[in-house]
Amino acid sequence: MNDIYTNIALQVPEILLPNKEVDLKKWSVVACDQYTSQPQYWEQVEQFVGAAPSTLRLIFPEVYLEDNDSDTRIKQINAAMQDYLENGVIQPMARKGFILVDRKTSHVDSRKGLVVAIDLEQYDFNKGAQTLIRATEGTIVDRLPPRIKVRQDAAIEAPHIMVLIDDPERTVIEPLFDQKPEKIYDFELMMDSGHLKGYAIDSPQQIDQVVASLQKLADPALFAEKYQTSDTDAVLLYAMGDGNHSLATAKAIWEKIKQDAANPDDEMNNPARFALVELVNIHDQGLQFEPIHRVVFDVEPAQLLESLQTHFGNNCSIHRFENEQQMKQQSAAANKSAAADKSAAEQGQQNHIIPFVDENGYGYIQIEKPPFTLELATLESFLTDYLEKTGGKVDFIHGDDVVKELGQETGNMGFFFPPIDKHSLFKTIIFDGALPRKTFSMGEADEKRFYLETRKIK
């Protein structure tokens, strides 16, 4: 059995799991880029974990990124990694292999995945990339340095990255459940976040089956037929789902290792060349695409709306309502009217309706002949420059309730966006390239990947 399959950018990794004495409910915590405007969530996690071994000690929750103790926190993370390795808190699986995952959340009964390692040599997050692994949204390079600082001296990685495959016939992940693989964990997640089961996929036959199925998805002729491209167009096998900037961080470190090497070819077996991820079939019924909303802080809402109207001119109108129900009814009617205007839609001029909330209540922005296909892209074409000039800041929010809670606070403003069609994602990336950053989310915040598996990266 091979360890590396370069034609599908796949490595069979040596996965480390917590030993049988570890309380998995305390060990496993949600992705570090969640609840970034809700420090109380992470305070509750801290209280629940206490002194128990936990991935909380291996990650840097992004809610704390702007605190002044980042250097101390990173040293503590690196020390915890060494401690867990040296004292057997985490140990290798019996054999190299994958882990089949079945996740239950408060919203879905089952979301299936497969933990594998992918080859960073075949990943490029830059615009126009034609690699096997591609970003689905814009990567903000300025956001990488603090993440690089966390990972560059780390002994292990604990991934929250979820990578999508477009497998409508369900050939890669789903058949593995029929083989009744060995169960290696089964437990309730903390904070009422659902249930998680994991199964070892480590026999040569099982691995060969996964490899063969992925190779078929990557076949250039079948790819061209599937997406109506030419035989010479580059194959897209893996599209980023969650953890875009985490994978970009791993890529940046890997490129730096090669750059600093006297002979880059000598580094090709370096474990930093690979990244542990969970593959998820975009056609999985348990995979829900949710919009990522925006809340802006330290702004004057009336002034922001006035500047917005100036930016878009006569094509922009603002509509306010007494309550949320009226806003929803009227914005839905406006959307329905816009969708009915087929001639405008065919010309790419369908109106954008963007609901908002601030301390004065609810409303929506209507923009005719918008400059972009997505509502989010249209708003961000104004918002990015505006916040740079005014000094305001933006956060990316999962869930309407949090937008309403934060958006109504004085000096804040929340914007709501619709979900995108997950079945069109691969085709959109192939033909149009990456979407705006934080366009969609795979589920709500509590449905995000919880850390559990780890892998040595040094």
Residue 48 lies in a domain: yes
**Which amino acid is residue 179, in one-letter code?**
Q
The residues facing 30 across adjacent strands are 450
Evaluate whether residue 230 is within a structural domain.
yes
50 and 183, same domain (yes or no): yes
Q: Is residue 430 part of a domain?
A: no
pLDDT tens-place string over residues 159-170: 999 999 999 999
**CA nearest 156: which of 10, 15, 23?**
15
Question: Do 315 and 220 fall within a single domain?
Answer: no
My answer on whether 214 and 304 are in the same domain is: no
390 and 327, same domain (yes or no): yes
Q: What is the pLDDT of residues 134-190, one digit of tens each?
A: 999 888 788 789 899 999 999 999 999 999 999 999 999 999 999 999 999 999 999
Residue, of 364 and 377, whose pLDDT is higher: 364
**Does residue 154 lie within any of the structural domains?**
yes
N- to C-terminal Cα separation, the chain = 23
| 332: containing domain | 293-416
The verdict on 152 and 301 lying in the same domain is no
Q: Are strands 195-201 and 183-188 parallel, antiparallel or unpaired?
A: antiparallel
DSSP at 30: B
Please give the Cα distance from 333 to 326 (Å, whole number). 11
Rounded CA gap, 223 and 35, in Å? Answer: 38
Pair 184, 319 in one domain: no
- Establish if 161 belongs to a structural domain: yes
Tell me the per-residue pLDDT of 30-81, one tens digit each, with 9 for 90 and over.
999 999 989 999 999 999 999 999 999 999 999 998 898 999 999 999 999 9
Show Cβ contacts of residue 166 under 8 Å, excluding neighbours closer than 6 positions.
217, 226, 239, 281, 282, 283, 425, 426
Strands lying side by side in the sheet with 352-358: 316-321, 361-367, 352-358, 413-415, 293-297, 393-397
Q: Do 176 and 227 have their domain in common?
A: yes
Q: What is the per-residue pLDDT across 196-233, written as a single tens digit (0 to 9) for each?
A: 999 999 999 999 999 999 999 999 999 999 999 887 78
Instruction: State how far Cα 1 lies from the chain centre.
Output: 31
DSSP output for 264-333: GGGGTT-GGGEEEEEEEETT-TT--EEE-EEEEES--HHHHHHHHHHHHGGGEEEEEESSHHHHHHHHHH
Q: Are 48 and 67 in the same domain?
A: yes
Same domain, 315 and 284: no
Lowest mean pLDDT among 7-11, 276-280, 332-336: 332-336
**What share of the chain has pLDDT > 90, as a percent?**
80
**How would you label 247-261 residue by residue, b for 16+ Cβ within 10 Å and e otherwise?**
bbbbbbbbeeebeee
311 and 180 assigned to the same domain: no
Record the pTM: 0.82
Task: Report yes or no: 448 and 31 within 8 Å, Cβ to Cβ.
Answer: yes
* Tokens 């690699």, residue located: 131
pLDDT at res. 37: 87
Q: What is the predicted pLDDT for the residue at 82?
A: 98
Residue 423, in any domain of the structure: no
Asked if residue 304 and residue 285 are part of one domain, the reply reads no
Question: Does residue 424 lie in a domain region?
Answer: no
- Beta strands 238-242 and 133-134 are parallel
Pair 29, 127 in one domain: yes
- Which helix H or strand E contains 92, and what residues bound it? strand 90-92
* Within a domain: 428: no
* Number of folded domains that form the chain: 2
pLDDT in tens, 248-274: 999 999 999 999 999 999 999 999 999
